[in-house]
Structure 1
């Protein structure tokens, strides 16, 4: 149906590993390797860039955001996955939060297209939101982040830091419903979207000097 999308394919299909690359020049976080048993087929940010007809042209709330990579995976037990990835160069809470916002807006565009296609079923599709960035640059930055989380907890604020960042730092990936995101909460999305459980990841580099990271998909 959307045959012209093939022009945004990054490379030929790959087995067991897919690489998402940062498209902005000068970025110091340049690459994320995604690993899982199966066949990958993916696109770069151009696939969901500049899609105003279902965002800003028709809505004062939906934003025309894109993410660095959109990847399909058919795993070794024939389960279909959709993986959306955004890379950020530094560990910055605001930018990490913004990355998941970019991913959420990109997913909305993908769902709008896929819902027209025979065989698509959001309930059967495994969805993964992945933000990857450099680890803390030093101990002071780590302590500042942990202090910010602690302060939010003491105030009992339902914030990004308490809902997502703290569990992600502890576990690297969590499962949440899309209705957990403010972007979804503030609009009357279909129940199938609100109730959809997704896997959410925050993947850090091993060292601050690293420009690449790896993540294993959770099935």
Structure 2
């Protein structure tokens, strides 16, 4: 059964954190594979348009320590983000990512990291990545790791990189496999959780929504 959770991008409510995959003392250097349940929601926009967001095939493979020090962790994350708009619209943006926290309730943060993908603006959007990035966090800090960095104009029309694919068809998806997320500087307890953020534009305006995955422990 999927875990259902959603929040608006602005003022997203943090769900209760659930610690999974804790490491025993005798297996401090062993990788831990964590299958994750993903999730699914259907939101109805103010104009009546229904939008379905799914997070599937989600997992994490965690190394609790790199360089024989508790300040370093490494995780390989995999998953698939899907969105379907059940009506005509003027465009969709799909932003998959992870929030990572060090001794803090993980509900948001800044953007960093990423990888490359592609999109077909005229039809069904799709993307796939296999690389990743690194985060440096101290106690009480959280940050966002974006799965994508797609070349294109930003909100000001300047050429750069955006962490999303965009499409005008009814369906779009992004698949990532063994995307590397490294965490440094956190001497305490660390967690991460996936999210799928979606922005839909219709003739009545623009709406934003987010599906949260289940939190998991980085040790």
Assess same fold via TM > 0.5. no
TM-score with structure 1 setting the length: 0.29
TM-score with structure 2 setting the length: 0.29
Which structure exhibits the higher relative contact order, with contacts defined as CA atoms closer than 8 Å and separated by 6 or more residues? 2
